[in-house]
């Protein structure tokens, strides 16, 4: 009798014990927002998501093409820009946080001006690892990045920018959410692109390549 009772108890415990064999097919979102910066046709059924790192030389090389794609399809496609500051780019997180500060406290569209400023080759060279190897975080922020901000926004002074970077928790938190959302989306490098949720890892190196992908979707949206 005792052995039967013991087996019964084990069976009930096994039923109640939480199973780890099955994982959710879709990751649980960490936020209701992806914290992407969006522009173009915001109601379009065709969406391009771009994961970029503001301290990445590959993103710098792609940026003129991405601007060309945006100019061609801005009336027909929604473009979502996600910041994914890679840890081996020493000041990528600072640049991403600065972009969020500009988006929160600058004028509409200033964040894209900031992208353009950062992706100017002469500016990009100022924030690469070799150029900043002997500089502190605050030195890079006050002497280099603050100038990027004032060059990008007429409504955000250098002193206000520095104050917001020190005191506005949302600037920091939004940047963390962007990184975590990229990780949840299985993004592992920059730049990476998805079109209507499908990751395209190759074949988007020219405007003709992008046209091949987007023209059919724009003319015959799903």
Q: What is the pLDDT of residues 111-126, one digit of tens each?
A: 999 999 999 999 999 9
CA distances, 41 to each of 35, 78, 207, 209 (Å): 17, 5, 19, 21
Q: What is the pLDDT of residue 34?
A: 78
Q: What is the pLDDT of residue 222?
A: 55
Q: Residue ranges of the chain with pLDDT lower than 70?
A: 1-33, 220-222
Q: Delimit the domains of the chain by residue range.
A: 37-219
Homologous superfamily, domain 37-219: Glutaredoxin (3.40.30.10)
d(CA 175, CA 23): 27
Q: What is the pLDDT of residue 78?
A: 96
Tell me the pLDDT tens digit for each residue of 182-193.
Answer: 998 999 999 999
Q: What is the pLDDT of residue 7?
A: 44
Helix/strand/coil (H, E, C) string of 188-205?
CCCCEEEECCEEECCCCC
């Amino acid at each position: 009798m005792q052995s039967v009772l013991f087996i019964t108890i084990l069976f009930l415990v096994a039923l109640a014990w939480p199973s780890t064999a099955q994982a959710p097919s879709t990751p649980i979102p960490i936020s209701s927002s992806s914290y992407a910066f969006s522009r173009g046709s915001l109601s379009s059924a065709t969406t391009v998501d771009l994961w970029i790192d503001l301290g990445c030389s590959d993103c710098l090389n792609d940026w003129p093409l991405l601007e060309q794609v945006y100019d061609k399809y801005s009336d027909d496609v929604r473009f979502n820009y996600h910041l994914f500051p890679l840890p081996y780019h020493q000041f990528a997180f600072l640049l991403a946080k600065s972009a969020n500060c500009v988006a929160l406290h600058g004028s509409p569209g200033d964040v894209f001006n900031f992208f353009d400023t950062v992706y100017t080759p002469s500016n990009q060279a100022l924030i690469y690892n070799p150029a900043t190897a002997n500089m502190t975080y605050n030195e890079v922020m006050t002497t280099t990045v603050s100038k990027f901000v004032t060059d990008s926004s007429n409504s955000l002074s250098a002193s206000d920018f520095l104050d917001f970077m020190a005191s506005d928790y949302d600037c920091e938190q939004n940047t963390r959410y962007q990184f975590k959302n990229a990780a949840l989306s299985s993004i592992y490098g920059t730049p990476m692109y998805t079109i209507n949720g499908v990751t395209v890892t190759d074949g988007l190196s020219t405007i003709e390549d992008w046209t091949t992908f987007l023209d059919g979707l724009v003319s015959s949206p799903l």
